[in-house]
Structure 1
Amino acid sequence: MTEARTTPDGREAQRLRTRRRVLDAALAEFRRSGAAAADVGAIVADAGVARATFYFHFPRKEHVLLELERREEVRIAKRLAHRLAEPHDLAAALDEVVRSVLTVERRVGSVLFKDLLGLHFSPNRPEDDEWTDHPVIVLVVEEFARARDEGEAYAGLNPFHAAVFFLLGLYALLTTSGASRSTRAAMLDNYVALTLRGMEIR
């Protein structure tokens, strides 16, 4: 019996290496110029590929952001799962969600971070996938369900709706806020507090 192939063959490995090179070049350009103003010519020159190669891997610029979103969601979900493994309440969970999202800004830079968040509101978002494909949403839904089941939130709470409202509100605040770091921190604390107030047992 032969072992199942676990690594891509030569052609597929080359395709994946090219895709990664194009993605890295695109993200570097997005950091410099923002997604809307990013120059595809500069991207392909940096990656050392033909223009058609960029569009083969990423038909639109939003596909680059979608790829980054998937990667960052996995990182956020791992951080959240680790932090939420200890006993906690809903307030601590939501604070941790905010902190985890903000780690992305530090990692990718403020320009690319806002483009990434803006993807959630874009009519040009490439895919209409299921919410269960997004590990961060899944974890936040689980937190609202736990809070409801443990009596931290009112019994009629819909965990999915609560999670989507919380995350979209958070992303909107971070996308549109031009406030100083201290002002934004206070605003985010207030946002979490208002969310918790809306979850109170009725």
Structure 2
Amino acid sequence: MVLREQKSERGRKGLQTRERLLGAAIAEFTRAGLAAADIGAIVSAAGVAHGTFFFHFPTKEHVLLELERREQDRIAAELTRSYRRPHDVRTTLTKAVDALDGLERRLGNRLFKDFLALHFSTTRPPSEEWTAHPVIVAVVEDLQRAQQRGEIPAEVDVMLNGVSFLVGLYALLITLPPSPAIREPVVAEYLTTYLYGLRAQ
């Protein structure tokens, strides 16, 4: 019984340390960007030894992977809620754009771009199938429902279109300046192009 309580206490402290490191790392990434982030500054802010960072996160990209997992779950839940209300295919895609706008507001532009760039990183830890990405799943499943309702022709590959829409959107948002005057018309045209490809009614 005592041993179990000691393990439980160690586990709780380990989770607290991980959360402190994650918060300190995100603050440092926001300040300096992923590439220039200083691990010394992160461990100092978290109040832990240097090696503790690598015990919890083998690389700086692993911090972003943890952030990605949490934000993907949050965005997917937000999309799933909004998709329960009656809507058209344009709204399916527009809600995904809006969710990313919200993510950028939460993270700030620098961390947001690092977050999206992780999807294209050659040093990213081995990636999973698209079905392991909750945002992609939420969008694709809603497009599949639209197809079942007859709003998208049966011969359209909604899985391929949904995945490529999001990946292309990530690339656009990485490369476009954050100015709404520049970004909004480009994203609107991108959305229209994908709707045409889906031949949505």
Q: For 2:129 and 2:12, locate their aligned partners in 1 and report how far apart those are by CA, in whole Å.
A: 29
Note if contact 1:144-1:162 (Cα within 8 Å) is conserved in structure 2.
no
Q: Which residue matches 2:28?
A: 29
User: RMSD of the alignment, in Å?
Assistant: 1.5
Q: For 2:127 and 2:19, locate their aligned partners in 1 and report how far apart those are by CA, in whole Å.
A: 24
Q: In structure 1, the residue corresponding to 2:122 is in which secondary structure?
A: coil
The 1:48/1:179 distance shift into structure 2, 3 A limit, reads closer
Q: Which residue matches 2:180?
A: 181
Note if contact 1:140-1:163 (Cα within 8 Å) is conserved in structure 2.
yes
TM superposition shift of 1:35: 0.2
Q: In structure 2, the residue corresponding to 1:19 is in which secondary structure?
A: helix
Note if contact 2:83-2:142 (Cα within 8 Å) is conserved in structure 1.
no
Q: In structure 1, the residue corresponding to 2:153 is in which secondary structure?
A: coil
Q: TM-score, normalised by structure 1?
A: 0.92
Which runs of 4 or more aligned residues in structure 1 lie more than 4 Å from their structure 2 counterparts after TM superposition? none
Q: Which residue matches 1:85?
A: 84
Say if 2:196 is the partner of 1:197. yes
In the alignment, residue 37 of structure 1 is paired with which amino acid? Answer: A
Q: TM-score, normalised by structure 2?
A: 0.93
Could you tell me which runs of 5 or more consecutive residues in structure 2 were left unpaired when the two chains were aligned: none
Q: In structure 2, the residue corresponding to 1:163 is in which secondary structure?
A: helix
Q: How many residues align?
A: 195
Say if 2:65 is the partner of 1:100. no
Q: In structure 1, the residue corresponding to 2:84 is in which secondary structure?
A: coil
The 1:116/1:59 distance shift into structure 2, 3 A limit, reads same
Say if 2:162 is the partner of 1:160. no
TM superposition shift of 1:151: 2.2
Say if 2:168 is the partner of 1:169. yes
TM superposition shift of 1:179: 5.5
Q: In structure 2, the residue corresponding to 1:49 is in which secondary structure?
A: coil
What percentage of aligned pairs have identical amino acids?
Answer: 51
Q: For 2:174 and 2:151, locate their aligned partners in 1 and report how far apart those are by CA, in whole Å.
A: 30
